[in-house]
């Protein structure tokens, strides 16, 4: 395969003629760029569960195309029979990962298309589903760029930025969320100095964020997670930008494990902590972070993954939560595509969603 910059690939794409959902297998990066051509619901379910496609926005985009593929294959010609099979496929895909709200958000959005067009033929509904899936992807690019513009307004050129996990282009359709201010700043010559946490145990910061930022010419330094305190203490970091998978109504934010520790450190050193959150990740039905279900993953990710030999004794107990919840008191602002929310977040969110509703009426 011809060598290409990782930024020239689409994280998630779709070929309707071949009935293929096409993704970058992110478990193989950075040492191999492999495109997966997924055609069955089992393959798509596995890709989401195994983190071959990951990042809340990218999961949402994949889910939109994935459920369209399921709908496309349904042979029922009556609405009721079609909807019954659609609902079964939707529930199946929705079970692949519990924490990222974009998965259920995208699937619910696709279901709404089916329910609100029951007067149309099954074939017409299928075409409307394809249109909706394409719109989800296109909107994600706009959302990320807009979040980047708002984020850029909060910082000065030349500063140091720390980020955790991967909320970059590999987690979205383009730009990323937490990296969007970095990429837009790069275009404007801001010359940010970025510190990327490794993000153990799956190393999304090392394998993905450092990889894509370095490929884009950004000044990025990779650090182990337990080095964040030192680089902050040294005065090398003036802002923290991270993404998120779900935000509660009070501002508590679930993101990759380790984010809450970064937030506590940032507050200790007087560094602003910014959560970059598309409104699709804000769950107003969830009052606090206590209501966010945290996925626990296999212990082998700690004891064996990435190593030629075991790095822990056989039989040792493990605790491997994929996410933690950062309490709203440690968050300076939550950046959305409809503005910057500041404490108290429940009030700010109401204003954000009011702007969103007004914009969608135009």
What's the farthest any 2 CA atoms get from each other in the chain?
A: 66
Contact status, residue 237 vs residue 161, Cβ threshold 8 Å: yes
* pTM metric for this prediction: 0.91
What burial letters (b/e) apply to 144-181, b meaning 16+ CB within 10 Å? bbbbbebbbeebeeebbbbbbbbbbbbbbbbbbbbbbb
Task: Kindly state whether residues 346 and 227 are assigned to the same domain.
Answer: yes
pLDDT at site 306: 83
Domain carrying residue 243: 144-361
Q: What is the mean pLDDT of residues 40-48?
A: 97
Q: pLDDT class for 5, splitting at 50, 70, 90?
A: confident
Residue 1 falls inside a structural domain: no
All residues at 6 or more sequence positions from 318 whose CB lies less than 8 Å from its CB, including other chains: 299, 302, 303, 312
Task: Kindly state whether residues 160 and 283 are assigned to the same domain.
Answer: yes
Examine the fold and report which residue of 88, 113, 139 is the final residue of a domain before the chain moves on.
139
For 206, which DSSP code?
Answer: I
Domain count, the chain: 2
Task: Kindly state whether residues 157 and 185 are assigned to the same domain.
Answer: yes
Residue 1 has pLDDT above 60, yes or no: no
Query: What would the pLDDT profile of 154-210 be if each residue is shown by its tens digit?
Result: 999 999 999 999 999 999 998 999 999 999 999 999 999 999 999 999 999 999 999
| Alpha carbons 238 and 140: distance in angstroms, whole number | 28
Give catalytic residues, as residue numbers: 245
One-character DSSP codes across 90-136:
HHHHHTS-SS-HHHHHHHHHHHHHHHTTTTS-HHHHHHHHHHHHHHH
Return the number of other C-beta atoms located less than 10 Å from residue 48's C-beta. Answer: 23
Task: Kindly state whether residues 267 and 289 are assigned to the same domain.
Answer: yes
The β-bridge relationship of strands 193-197 and 160-163 is parallel
206: domain CATH number?
A: 3.40.50.10470
Contact status, residue 137 vs residue 109, Cβ threshold 8 Å: no
Residue 85 has pLDDT above 50, yes or no: yes
Q: What is the mean pLDDT of residues 118-147?
A: 97
Residue 114 has pLDDT above 60, yes or no: yes
When mean pLDDT is compared across 111-115, 127-131, 186-190, 303-307, the lowest value belongs to 303-307
Q: pLDDT class for 3, splitting at 50, 70, 90?
A: low
| Alpha carbons 197 and 262: distance in angstroms, whole number | 10
Residue 2 has pLDDT above 70, yes or no: no
Return the number of other C-beta atoms located less than 10 Å from residue 84's C-beta. Answer: 12
Task: Kindly state whether residues 172 and 133 are assigned to the same domain.
Answer: no
Task: Kindly state whether residues 349 and 247 are assigned to the same domain.
Answer: yes
| Alpha carbons 300 and 157: distance in angstroms, whole number | 42
Alpha carbon distances (Å) from 84 to 66, 109, 135, 200: 17, 17, 24, 41
Residue 161 falls inside a structural domain: yes
Query: What would the pLDDT profile of 254-313 be if each residue is shown by its tens digit?
Result: 999 999 999 999 999 999 999 999 999 999 999 999 999 999 999 999 999 888 899 999
Q: What is the mean pLDDT of the chain?
A: 95
Residue 225 has pLDDT above 70, yes or no: yes
């Amino acid at each position: 395969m011809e060598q290409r910059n990782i930024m020239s690939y689409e994280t998630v794409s779709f070929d309707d003629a071949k009935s293929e959902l096409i993704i970058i297998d992110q478990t193989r990066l950075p040492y191999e760029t492999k495109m997966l051509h997924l055609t069955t619901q089992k393959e798509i379910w596995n890709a989401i569960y195994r983190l071959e496609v990951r990042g809340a926005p990218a999961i949402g985009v994949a889910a939109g195309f994935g459920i369209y593929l399921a709908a496309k294959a349904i042979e029922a010609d009556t609405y009721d029979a079609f909807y019954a099979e659609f609902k079964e496929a939707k529930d199946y895909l929705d079970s692949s990962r519990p924490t990222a709200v974009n998965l259920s958000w995208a699937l619910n959005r696709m279901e709404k298309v089916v329910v609100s067009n029951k007067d149309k033929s099954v074939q017409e509904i299928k075409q409307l589903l394809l249109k909706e899936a394409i719109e989800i992807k296109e909107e994600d690019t706009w959302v990320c760029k807009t979040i980047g513009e708002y984020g850029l307004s909060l910082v000065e050129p030349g500063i140091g930025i720390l980020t955790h996990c991967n909320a970059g282009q590999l987690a979205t359709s383009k730009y990323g969320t937490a990296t969007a201010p970095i990429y837009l700043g790069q275009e404007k010559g801001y010359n940010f100095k970025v510190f990327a946490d490794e993000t153990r145990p799956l190393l999304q910061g090392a394998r993905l964020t450092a990889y894509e930022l370095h490929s884009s010419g950004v000044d990025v330094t990779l650090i182990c997670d337990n080095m964040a305190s030192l680089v902050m203490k040294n005065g090398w970091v003036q802002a923290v930008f991270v993404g998120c998978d779900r935000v509660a109504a009070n501002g508590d934010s679930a993101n990759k494990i380790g984010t809450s520790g970064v937030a506590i450190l940032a507050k200790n050193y007087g560094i602003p902590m910014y959560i970059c959150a598309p409104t699709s990740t804000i769950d107003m039905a969830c009052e606090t972070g206590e209501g966010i279900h945290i996925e626990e993953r296999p212990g082998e990710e700690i004891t064996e993954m990435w190593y030629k030999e075991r790095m822990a004794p056989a039989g040792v107990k493990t605790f491997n939560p994929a996410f933690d919840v950062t309490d709203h008191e440690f968050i300076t602002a939550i950046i959305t595509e409809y503005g910057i929310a500041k404490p108290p977040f429940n009030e700010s969110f109401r204003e954000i969603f009011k702007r969103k509703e007004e914009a969608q009426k135009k």
